[in-house]
Copies of this chain bind each other. A is one copy, B any other.
Amino acid sequence: MVDRQRGADADNDEALDRVFAALSDPVRRRLLSRLDGEALLVKELAAPFNISVQAVSKHIQVLVKAGLVRQERSGRVSRCRLDAGPMYEAALWVNRYSKYWQDQFDTLALWLGAAERPKRKRNSRRQS
């Protein structure tokens, strides 16, 4: 029974643990990459790998528990959809250290401009 002291330190966040742990595996990172833009079935997700479908299924469960993937089952198949929301906290965490990449600051600003942001609306995000 470890005394947890929850909330005392914002970094002691189990959700963040799960997100970073989920991202620490190359298979899961590839899964997330493939789910960027399209929702796929387990079978489709498993196809490129030479590990068993069960292993991929377990990887997906890890992603689900991290909140990065949602599965909606319809009939026999289970369509997996990306939910990048929990990754935001992780991004905030690592970006706190962006000051140390000042050299690559241009590159850092680059994805801000290059990542799907077709035109910079000068005002107002177009809230979906």
A interface vs B, CB < 8 Å?
A: 9, 11-14, 16-18, 20-21, 23-26, 29-30, 32-33, 36, 82-85, 87-88, 90-109, 111-112, 115-117, 121, 125, 127-128
A87 / chain B contacts, CB cutoff of 8 Å: 94, 97, 100
A11-B33, A26-B17, A101-B84 in contact; A111/B93 too (CB < 8 A)?
no
A128 / chain B contacts, CB cutoff of 8 Å: 102, 109
The reply to whether B100 and A85 contact each other, CB–CB distance below 8 Å, is yes
**A127 to B21 alpha-carbon distance, docked (Å):** 34
The reply to whether B104 and A88 contact each other, CB–CB distance below 8 Å, is yes
The reply to whether B21 and A24 contact each other, CB–CB distance below 8 Å, is yes
Not counting A91-B108, A109-B112, a sample of 11 additional A-B residue pairs whose C-beta atoms are within 8 angstroms of each other reads A13-B26, A20-B24, A21-B24, A23-B24, A29-B93, A36-B96, A87-B94, A88-B100, A91-B94, A91-B95, A95-B115
The reply to whether A20 and B17 contact each other, CB–CB distance below 8 Å, is no
A98 / chain B contacts, CB cutoff of 8 Å: 91, 111-112, 115
A106 / chain B contacts, CB cutoff of 8 Å: 125
A16 / chain B contacts, CB cutoff of 8 Å: 26, 29
